[in-house]
Amino acid sequence: MDYKSEIAQVLSGITGLDFDNVYKLIEIPPQSDMGDFAFPCFVLAKTMHKAPQMIATDIAADSAFKSMQWLDKSVNVGPYVNFYIDRGVFAKDTLGTIINLGDRYGEENIGEGKTIIVEYSSPNIAKPFHVGHAFTTIIGNSLAQIYTKLGYKVIRMNHLGDYGTQFGKLITAYRLWGDEQKLNESPIDELLRIYVKFHEEEKNDPELTIAARDNFKKLEDGCPDEVALWEKFRDMSLVVFNKLYDRMGLTFDNYNGEAYYAKMSDDVVNMLKEKNLLVESEGAQVVDLEEYGYPPCIILKSNGTTIYATRDLAAAMYRYENYKFDKNIYVVGIPQALHFKQVFAVLKKAGFDYADKCEHVGFGLVKFKNNMKFSTRDGNIVLLEELIDESVAKTKEIITNNCKQRGVDMTDDEINMISEKVGLGAVIYTYVKSGREKDIVFSWEEMLDFEGDTAPYLIYTYARTRSILRKAKEQGLEPSLKSLDLLTNDDEYLLIRALGDFKDAIVKAANNNEPFMVMRQVSLIARSYNRFYNNSSILGADTEELKCARLALCEAVCDTIKSGLALVGIDVVERM
């Protein structure tokens, strides 16, 4: 039941205010002892010609609330009307819903019939997949999962960086210093080696710059030899990337990269010319965006070549033509914010209304405690795969030591499986536990803390709760929905409230494109559960009815944590 809507409906009838306005005014009190919902009466003072406190007194006593069997009481607290939901009814309603839905809890049909495109990951071909790329990859995947959960048709786009002058440099470098055997054995490593070498040699040999420019021109013109090398580099890179994607459980619907849209650049240029939007500026062709408060958007450079903006315009036009999207999301770093504002403004100025459906979702930087920065040119990078490997290795060491200390017998295969899921989860969670615009500073102590705001803590909470359910089953006890109205103490109720708010957290996360809003709720659920666990005996409860009701609460916690972690790409384990 949507208690807030029910209360808003009655308040609308009493006050004469529009339902939507009432609904927006209803608040969640800052403290649980102040009730579940609160309605401020300040807005009614002018129309009712009374002090807000007097209005609150009258509304709280209105007979319309007496018929609500699920409402424990309505009282005025100063100028507010505070509403208290019957805890037993709320427990039955909330936990019954969760257990019946299982992992599907939180699903909605808000997006039914609507299509959302999420562009994310988008690594550069022939370059290593470093920890910076993980930000767009993890945030983008989370958003895709969240929108899918809400019923949208989601198209996952991987806009590969497979076009540009760097390929002229790579072709030149490979012909000069490439090792075929090393390329076959470890393509990204070999391509990085020659790319770094090119930039070192280029400083003292300007002829290399000219050769690279010539080779890129040949690639643009479709010369067979240059195209063959480009395709080779692209195909080999995708093999490496897909290995990492498989490990992270990621899939994409479309890998069209810059090269794909570069072929459509002429159509973009011609369209802008026909609409008389192109003007010359220092030899370049630009679209003036002064009315939007942005610098001019370059479409053609002075040498006649296109740039990112041209190709992004082509991509947006292609996507709308083929998918008729209701929203087109670009998960790209904050430094590209102006670029996307310009691209969307050009679309708007060209008369494409779907410009308003395009949205840039920015994110922060990735750092380590020694302030390491990443530069492919200098070879100074931290590979995502190596970070995950180290996280898994450290997790394995922790789990192995814990097993020895607790006398728990686990096979090597089981330890390896658990370490992979927890270690990978620790990395993923680091990217989604805070607002996406905040910078990330990696710390092993924080990432792998089994008692902190981490994936290991959440996964362990799930596993420990599963262990209780297994022990109960051995004793002949099963979760039961029959006596959920017994779950009324403060710890039980606060936990059930946290579980009930999970579905709203998913909607808020989608509205703000902020996966951390889901993770914040999952973390609250885990902490509320552990408080309940420490203060209330589950298998040692006074009656069998209470035991089974608390087991149902445990089942709901497991379902919700599992569902929430899945939304960011983290798997749970059944025991640790």
Active site residues: 127, 130, 133
Quick check: 137 and 199 in contact, CB under 8 A?
no
Answer for the pair 450, 457: CB distance below 8 angstroms, yes or no.
Answer: yes
The separation between CA 332 and the C-alpha centre of its own chain, rounded to angstroms, equals 13
Lookup: tokens for 48? 């009712």
C-alpha 314/C-alpha 319 separation (Å) is 9
Tokens of 169: 């440099």
Q: Is 366 helix (H, G, I), strand (E, B) or coil?
A: strand
Map tokens 């076009």 to a residue. Answer: 163
| Rounded Cα distance, 454 and 437, in Å | 19
285: left (phi over 0), alpha (psi -120 to 50) or beta: beta
| Rounded distance between C-alpha atoms, residue 80 and residue 40, angstroms | 5
Distance in angstroms (rounded) separating the CA atoms of residues 321 and 352? 11
CA distances from 17 to 24, 25, 44, 321 (A): 11, 11, 9, 43
Query: Do residues 458 and 521 lie in contact, with contact meaning Cβ atoms separated by under 8 Å?
Result: no
With tokens 């270690």, the residue in question is: 423
Contacts of 281 (CB under 8 A, 6+ apart): 296
Residue 85, strand partner residues:
71
CA-wise closest residue to 388 among 427, 414, 432: 427
Which stretches of 295-411 are DSSP H helices? Answer: 308-323, 337-349, 384-406
| Identity of residue 289 | L
Pairing verdict, β 327-331 and 358-361: parallel
Instruction: Give the CA count within 13 Å in the CB-facing half-sphere of 237.
Output: 20
Q: Which long-range contacts (CB under 8 A, 24 or more apart) does 402-405 make?
A: 402/576
Query: Cα separation of 383 and 381, whole Å?
Result: 6
